[in-house]
Amino acid sequence: MGQVYGYVRVSTREQNEDRQIHALSEIQILKENIYMDKQSGKDFARPMYQHLLRKIGEGDLIYVKSIDRLGRNYEEILEQWRIITKDKKADIVVLDMPLLDTRRGRDLMGTFLSDIVLQVLSFVAENERGNIRQRQKEGIEAAKLRGVKFGRPTKPLPENFGRVYKRWLQREISGVMAAELCQMSVPTYYRRAEQYGEEIRKRILLKKGKTIHRISL
Protein backbone atom coordinates (compact mmCIF):
# COMPACT_ATOMS: atom_id res chain seq x y z
CA MET A 1 0.00 0.00 0.00
CA GLY A 2 1.57 3.30 -1.14
CA GLN A 3 1.11 6.87 0.03
CA VAL A 4 -2.09 8.82 -0.63
CA TYR A 5 -1.81 12.39 -1.88
CA GLY A 6 -4.15 15.18 -2.89
CA TYR A 7 -3.61 17.91 -5.43
CA VAL A 8 -5.35 21.30 -5.34
CA ARG A 9 -5.14 24.14 -7.85
CA VAL A 10 -6.77 27.56 -7.95
CA SER A 11 -6.15 30.00 -10.77
CA THR A 12 -5.41 33.13 -8.73
CA ARG A 13 -4.62 34.12 -5.18
CA GLU A 14 -8.15 35.51 -4.87
CA GLN A 15 -9.86 32.18 -5.60
CA ASN A 16 -10.89 30.08 -2.64
CA GLU A 17 -9.46 26.58 -2.37
CA ASP A 18 -11.71 25.51 0.56
CA ARG A 19 -14.05 23.41 -1.60
CA GLN A 20 -11.20 21.27 -2.89
CA ILE A 21 -9.50 21.01 0.52
CA HIS A 22 -12.80 19.93 2.11
CA ALA A 23 -13.36 17.22 -0.51
CA LEU A 24 -9.87 15.80 0.09
CA SER A 25 -10.14 15.98 3.88
CA GLU A 26 -13.39 13.98 3.72
CA ILE A 27 -11.43 11.00 2.38
CA GLN A 28 -8.92 11.53 5.21
CA ILE A 29 -5.87 12.60 3.23
CA LEU A 30 -3.18 13.89 5.57
CA LYS A 31 -2.76 17.65 5.47
CA GLU A 32 0.97 17.35 4.77
CA ASN A 33 0.17 15.16 1.75
CA ILE A 34 -1.99 17.81 0.04
CA TYR A 35 -0.10 19.85 -2.54
CA MET A 36 -1.55 23.14 -3.73
CA ASP A 37 -0.68 25.58 -6.52
CA LYS A 38 -2.21 29.03 -6.90
CA GLN A 39 -1.51 29.28 -10.58
CA SER A 40 -3.10 29.07 -14.02
CA GLY A 41 -3.85 25.60 -15.43
CA LYS A 42 -2.60 26.47 -18.91
CA ASP A 43 0.46 24.23 -18.41
CA PHE A 44 2.11 22.02 -15.78
CA ALA A 45 5.06 24.27 -14.94
CA ARG A 46 3.77 24.61 -11.37
CA PRO A 47 6.14 24.21 -8.41
CA MET A 48 3.96 22.09 -6.10
CA TYR A 49 2.69 19.86 -8.89
CA GLN A 50 6.24 19.20 -10.05
CA HIS A 51 7.27 18.51 -6.45
CA LEU A 52 4.42 16.01 -6.11
CA LEU A 53 5.37 14.39 -9.41
CA ARG A 54 8.95 13.86 -8.20
CA LYS A 55 7.71 12.41 -4.91
CA ILE A 56 5.21 9.80 -6.09
CA GLY A 57 6.17 6.25 -6.97
CA GLU A 58 4.74 2.83 -7.68
CA GLY A 59 1.61 2.07 -5.67
CA ASP A 60 0.96 5.68 -4.64
CA LEU A 61 -2.42 7.32 -5.19
CA ILE A 62 -3.32 10.91 -6.14
CA TYR A 63 -6.76 12.44 -5.63
CA VAL A 64 -7.93 15.55 -7.48
CA LYS A 65 -11.37 17.17 -7.14
CA SER A 66 -12.04 17.64 -10.87
CA ILE A 67 -10.17 17.26 -14.15
CA ASP A 68 -9.86 21.03 -14.68
CA ARG A 69 -8.06 21.33 -11.32
CA LEU A 70 -5.39 19.05 -12.75
CA GLY A 71 -5.05 21.27 -15.82
CA ARG A 72 -6.75 22.94 -18.77
CA ASN A 73 -4.49 22.00 -21.66
CA TYR A 74 -5.94 18.98 -23.51
CA GLU A 75 -2.70 17.45 -24.79
CA GLU A 76 -0.73 18.09 -21.59
CA ILE A 77 -3.42 16.52 -19.37
CA LEU A 78 -3.18 13.32 -21.41
CA GLU A 79 0.63 13.41 -21.21
CA GLN A 80 0.64 13.94 -17.42
CA TRP A 81 -1.93 11.18 -17.00
CA ARG A 82 0.43 8.85 -18.90
CA ILE A 83 3.42 9.90 -16.78
CA ILE A 84 1.55 9.28 -13.52
CA THR A 85 0.04 5.93 -14.47
CA LYS A 86 2.67 4.47 -16.83
CA ASP A 87 6.03 5.97 -15.87
CA LYS A 88 5.43 6.45 -12.14
CA LYS A 89 3.09 3.42 -11.89
CA ALA A 90 0.86 5.38 -9.52
CA ASP A 91 -2.92 5.69 -9.56
CA ILE A 92 -5.09 8.78 -9.92
CA VAL A 93 -8.71 9.44 -8.97
CA VAL A 94 -10.91 12.33 -10.10
CA LEU A 95 -13.53 12.71 -7.38
CA ASP A 96 -16.14 14.43 -9.57
CA MET A 97 -15.93 11.68 -12.20
CA PRO A 98 -15.88 8.13 -10.72
CA LEU A 99 -15.07 6.62 -14.13
CA LEU A 100 -11.70 8.35 -13.93
CA ASP A 101 -10.28 6.03 -11.27
CA THR A 102 -7.29 4.03 -12.49
CA ARG A 103 -7.63 1.55 -9.60
CA ARG A 104 -10.73 0.17 -11.32
CA GLY A 105 -11.17 -1.50 -14.66
CA ARG A 106 -7.55 -2.47 -15.26
CA ASP A 107 -8.68 -4.82 -18.00
CA LEU A 108 -8.70 -3.71 -21.64
CA MET A 109 -12.33 -2.51 -21.61
CA GLY A 110 -11.89 -0.57 -18.35
CA THR A 111 -8.76 1.14 -19.65
CA PHE A 112 -10.47 1.94 -22.95
CA LEU A 113 -13.49 3.53 -21.24
CA SER A 114 -11.27 5.51 -18.88
CA ASP A 115 -9.19 6.83 -21.78
CA ILE A 116 -12.30 7.85 -23.74
CA VAL A 117 -13.81 9.69 -20.75
CA LEU A 118 -10.50 11.39 -20.01
CA GLN A 119 -10.06 12.62 -23.57
CA VAL A 120 -13.62 13.94 -23.74
CA LEU A 121 -13.36 15.77 -20.41
CA SER A 122 -9.92 17.15 -21.19
CA PHE A 123 -11.19 18.44 -24.52
CA VAL A 124 -14.20 20.05 -22.84
CA ALA A 125 -11.95 21.70 -20.23
CA GLU A 126 -9.64 23.14 -22.90
CA ASN A 127 -12.56 24.17 -25.11
CA GLU A 128 -14.16 26.04 -22.21
CA ARG A 129 -10.89 27.83 -21.59
CA GLY A 130 -10.89 28.96 -25.22
CA ASN A 131 -14.52 30.07 -24.92
CA ILE A 132 -13.69 32.13 -21.84
CA ARG A 133 -10.86 33.89 -23.70
CA GLN A 134 -13.19 34.59 -26.63
CA ARG A 135 -15.92 35.97 -24.35
CA GLN A 136 -13.38 38.18 -22.61
CA LYS A 137 -12.12 39.48 -25.95
CA GLU A 138 -15.65 40.19 -27.18
CA GLY A 139 -16.51 41.88 -23.89
CA ILE A 140 -13.46 44.13 -24.07
CA GLU A 141 -14.20 45.07 -27.69
CA ALA A 142 -17.82 45.88 -26.83
CA ALA A 143 -16.71 47.97 -23.86
CA LYS A 144 -14.25 49.89 -26.02
CA LEU A 145 -17.08 50.71 -28.47
CA ARG A 146 -19.01 52.15 -25.51
CA GLY A 147 -16.02 54.33 -24.68
CA VAL A 148 -14.72 52.35 -21.70
CA LYS A 149 -11.01 52.94 -21.18
CA PHE A 150 -8.71 50.08 -20.14
CA GLY A 151 -5.32 50.14 -18.52
CA ARG A 152 -3.79 52.75 -16.28
CA PRO A 153 -5.29 56.23 -16.51
CA THR A 154 -3.09 58.62 -18.50
CA LYS A 155 -1.19 61.08 -16.33
CA PRO A 156 -1.92 64.74 -17.04
CA LEU A 157 0.73 66.57 -19.01
CA PRO A 158 3.04 68.85 -17.02
CA GLU A 159 2.20 72.56 -17.13
CA ASN A 160 5.25 73.36 -19.24
CA PHE A 161 4.58 70.67 -21.86
CA GLY A 162 3.04 73.00 -24.44
CA ARG A 163 5.96 75.45 -24.25
CA VAL A 164 8.54 72.67 -24.36
CA TYR A 165 6.73 70.97 -27.25
CA LYS A 166 6.76 74.23 -29.25
CA ARG A 167 10.51 74.68 -28.69
CA TRP A 168 11.16 71.05 -29.63
CA LEU A 169 8.97 71.36 -32.74
CA GLN A 170 10.95 74.43 -33.80
CA ARG A 171 14.18 72.44 -33.17
CA GLU A 172 15.37 74.80 -30.48
CA ILE A 173 15.94 71.83 -28.16
CA SER A 174 16.47 68.09 -28.63
CA GLY A 175 14.01 65.39 -27.69
CA VAL A 176 16.31 64.34 -24.84
CA MET A 177 16.30 67.86 -23.41
CA ALA A 178 12.54 68.17 -23.91
CA ALA A 179 12.00 64.92 -22.00
CA GLU A 180 14.25 66.16 -19.21
CA LEU A 181 12.42 69.49 -18.96
CA CYS A 182 9.10 67.61 -18.73
CA GLN A 183 10.55 65.09 -16.26
CA MET A 184 9.71 62.18 -18.55
CA SER A 185 11.63 59.33 -20.09
CA VAL A 186 12.58 59.94 -23.72
CA PRO A 187 10.19 57.23 -25.10
CA THR A 188 7.35 58.63 -22.98
CA TYR A 189 8.01 62.16 -24.19
CA TYR A 190 7.93 61.12 -27.85
CA ARG A 191 4.73 59.15 -27.32
CA ARG A 192 2.98 62.01 -25.51
CA ALA A 193 4.32 64.52 -28.05
CA GLU A 194 2.80 62.48 -30.89
CA GLN A 195 -0.55 62.35 -29.06
CA TYR A 196 -0.36 66.08 -28.28
CA GLY A 197 0.40 66.94 -31.91
CA GLU A 198 -2.44 64.75 -33.15
CA GLU A 199 -4.85 66.48 -30.77
CA ILE A 200 -3.74 69.89 -32.04
CA ARG A 201 -4.25 68.79 -35.66
CA LYS A 202 -7.75 67.55 -34.86
CA ARG A 203 -8.66 70.88 -33.25
CA ILE A 204 -7.36 72.79 -36.27
CA LEU A 205 -9.35 70.63 -38.69
CA LEU A 206 -12.47 70.96 -36.54
CA LYS A 207 -12.06 74.73 -36.40
CA LYS A 208 -11.61 74.91 -40.19
CA GLY A 209 -14.69 72.76 -40.69
CA LYS A 210 -16.80 75.05 -38.53
CA THR A 211 -15.50 78.12 -40.40
CA ILE A 212 -16.34 76.62 -43.82
CA HIS A 213 -19.78 75.67 -42.53
CA ARG A 214 -20.48 79.26 -41.40
CA ILE A 215 -19.27 80.68 -44.74
CA SER A 216 -21.49 78.28 -46.72
CA LEU A 217 -24.48 79.41 -44.71
Q: Which are the catalytic amino acids?
A: 11
One DSSP character per residue, the chain reads ---EEEEEEESSTTS--HHHHHHHHHTT--GGGEEEEES-SSSS--HHHHHHHHH--TT-EEEES-HHHH-S-HHHHHHHHHIIIIIS--EEEETT-TT-BTTS--SHHHHHHHHHHHHHHHHHHHHHHHHHHHHHHHHHHHHHHTT---SSPPPPPPTTHHHHHHHHHTTSS-HHHHHHHTT--HHHHHHHHHHHHHHHHHHHHHHHHHHHHHHH-
CB atoms within 10 A of CB 41: 23
